[in-house]
A and B are shown apart, each in its own frame.
Chain A
Amino acid sequence: MFELTLPPAFILLAGAILVGLVRPALRPVVVLGAPLLTLYAIWQLEDGILQTAPFLNYQIELVQASPLRRLFATIFAIMAFAGALFAFRQAKWWELAAAQAYAAGAIGVAFSGGLITMFLFWELMAIFSTVVVWCGGTPAARRAGIRYAIMHLVGGVILKIGIEGVMVHTGSIEIQPIALETFDAWMILIGVLINAAAPPLSAWLADAYPESSPSGTVFLSAFTTKTAVLALILLFPGEQILIWIGLYMIFYGIIYALLENDMRRILAYSIVNQVGFMVCGIGIGTEMAINGASAHAFAHIIYKALLMMSAGSVLYMTGRRKCNELGGLFQTMPVTATCGIIGALAISAFPFTSGFISKSMISQAAADQHLMTVWLFLAAASAGVFLHAGIKFPWFVFFQKDSGLRPRDPPWNMRAAMILFSAASILLGLFPGWLYALLPFPVDYEPYTAGHIVTQLQLLLFAGLAFFVLLPLMKRTETISLDVDWLYRQAGPLVVGVLTRMYRAAAGRVQRKALGLWAHLHGYLSRHHGPEGILARTWPTGSVVTWVVVLLAVYLLLSQY
């Protein structure tokens, strides 16, 4: 075997560049091959700092490996592969290239050995995820992409302020747990939390992701929020405030998803919900909790991408995205429906799916720390996940009243990607040891006790009962829900509009005054210098000669003395 000494992120980045350069026939080889080669490179890395490079006046660590970082990089590379498989025959080549560069950014962050490296790859993600949003190709996607880019560039600036503060005040650019005692630490936390879609700035996610192409959302669902989760684990493990931020995100996701009509926006809100579980686990901060958050990130990327693929397939085949226009699709889209249901069961943490073995570790960690309130919220939230994503998504898209639509299953590559991730969701649920072996800390946890299975089934199935009993309350309406983004999409422009009008009025007055003055000045000048002015008159030759004679006479007189 050969040794790969390149940082894994550079392989994917090279792939992204090659996609546009090679002949179209070779593109599939590049988009599918580069993630696999990257995966291989990831598993060649030994633990510790492996590559450094000089950058400005700093020695930056390009690659630092550890089990935690490898876990995240692994799932990012797998995701890049499955996403490419789902997309490569339908998506534009520039979307595939942007998605690979985006994934490269995520893997670069996962292995970054210092804050500077982290920041550089962080911005790489911001740029190319924006391009992926723009690949939606509609005016709405263009506008949403601009809002998305502004949000992430602002987040990047805040992060950079924090990083520079830490560099100046401590002289260290190492990535290590930072106590939340300084301004710098808070800036870094806020910068990272913006990417995690934490409150109050959660709205960008459900605003931008559903506007991308059917395959774009699949990529977008995976990288940005989960690199933020990794950054939180590395920088702020055990910070109490994260428990409450996480719980807020969990319920925010559920409530907004319940209100939503757009199928991909439902799933976008549920990303915030799922990342909330991880953020909460990081806040608890014990080995069990960090293991749980990491395992949940791994499992979540797979089943959420699966759900987005399922929704993307429906969108691709029908061109519709609203729940009230869908329904009854299970009859003609059996593969899409089955895979969607498997994803829905996994996100709901049904026994024998990947969600069951990962999410329960976070609840267990809360119980171990005797955090009763947190545990109760987490249990209610688990039921709520089944409500808003586990049943609502498949019910309104594939079942409910028959919409009369009879689309077929999508092309083979899209089916293959869905089947691959469905299998992964079930296999991880059946063999939790595979995932547990990759976790940062040794695992002392057995998810499959009879008691755990029974209580989880009770919780979920009765949540299902609540859904069907209260179905009349959940009648789909063709609406959107206001969020904090109202401030910058409606109130902000309104205030700017008012200020602009005030400025224009004031400027008008000033201008009129100035014009008056100018007219006055102009009149004065033209009286003297204008075509009819005294100084502009053409003088007769005789008077000029007279004046010359006078001058010469004066000169003659003066020369006598």
Chain B
Amino acid sequence: MKTDENHHKHWLYRPENRRPLWWGFILILGATVLAQVAIHVHGHFGFDGWFGFNAIYGFTSCALMVVFAKVLGLLLKRSEDYYDSDV
């Protein structure tokens, strides 16, 4: 069963496809930023029209949220039966 699965592994799960998938993703990311060369972005506040502003803002704000959630998780996470055990 195990070997059979490996033979018929979906292409998304094959290790040799990981790099091309990442490169494809990076290419798309680059394209959305470079598109700003051709397309004028009209900002409401000035800074939001800067080159690549949304890319940087999207990445950093998400990174902050993930890290914040991680830290908060240390305080708030409990085992699944937390409420079952005591009450």
A interface residue numbers (CB < 8 A to B): 251, 254-255, 258-259, 328, 331, 367-368, 370, 372, 375, 379-380, 383-384, 386-387, 399, 402, 404, 450-451, 454-470, 473-474, 477-483, 489-490, 493-494
Does B23 interact with chain A (Cβ within 8 Å)? Answer: no
Complex Cα gap A65–B17 (Å): 57
Does B58 interact with chain A (Cβ within 8 Å)? Answer: yes
Complex Cα gap A490–B73 (Å): 19
Q: Is the CB of A461 within 8 A of B29?
A: yes
Interface of A is mostly: helix
Residues in A neighbouring B72, C-beta threshold 8 A: 255, 259
Residue of A379, A387, A455, A482 touching B76 (CB-CB under 8 A): A482
Q: Is the CB of A255 within 8 A of B68?
A: yes
Residues in A neighbouring B54, C-beta threshold 8 A: 379, 455-456, 458-459, 462
| B contact residues, total (Cβ < 8 Å) | 47
Q: Is the CB of B40 within 8 A of A478?
A: no
Given contacts A259-B76, A402-B13, A479-B79, contact A384 B61 (CB under 8 A): yes
Residue of B32, B65, B75, B82 touching A461 (CB-CB under 8 A): B32
Q: Give A192 Cβ to nearest chain B Cβ, in Å.
A: 28
A-B CB contact pairs (8 Å), 6 listed: A455-B54, A458-B32, A461-B32, A462-B54, A467-B66, A482-B77
Q: Is the CB of A451 within 8 A of B57?
A: no
B interface residue numbers (CB < 8 A to A): 5, 10, 12-13, 25, 28-29, 32-33, 35-36, 39-42, 44-45, 48, 52-59, 61-63, 65-70, 72-73, 75-80, 82-83, 86-87
Which of B12, B55, B65, B75 has most chain A Cβ within 10 Å? B65
Complex Cα gap A494–B35 (Å): 59
Interface of B is mostly: helix
Closest to A455 in B: B54
Q: Is the CB of B66 within 8 A of A490?
A: no
Residues in B neighbouring A402, C-beta threshold 8 A: 10, 13
Residues in B neighbouring A477, C-beta threshold 8 A: 73, 77
Given contacts A459-B57, A490-B87, contact A466 B63 (CB under 8 A): yes
Residues in B neighbouring A459, C-beta threshold 8 A: 54-55, 57-58
Complex Cα gap A432–B69 (Å): 35
Complex Cα gap A42–B32 (Å): 44
Q: Give B46 Cβ to nearest chain A Cβ, in Å.
A: 10
Given contacts A379-B57, A463-B62, A466-B63, contact A451 B41 (CB under 8 A): yes
Complex Cα gap A459–B62 (Å): 10
Q: Is the CB of A482 within 8 A of B78?
A: yes
Residues in B neighbouring A494, C-beta threshold 8 A: 86
Q: Give B27 Cβ to nearest chain A Cβ, in Å.
A: 11
Complex Cα gap A482–B59 (Å): 27
Q: Is the CB of B29 within 8 A of A462?
A: yes
Complex Cα gap A273–B68 (Å): 17
Closest to A482 in B: B76
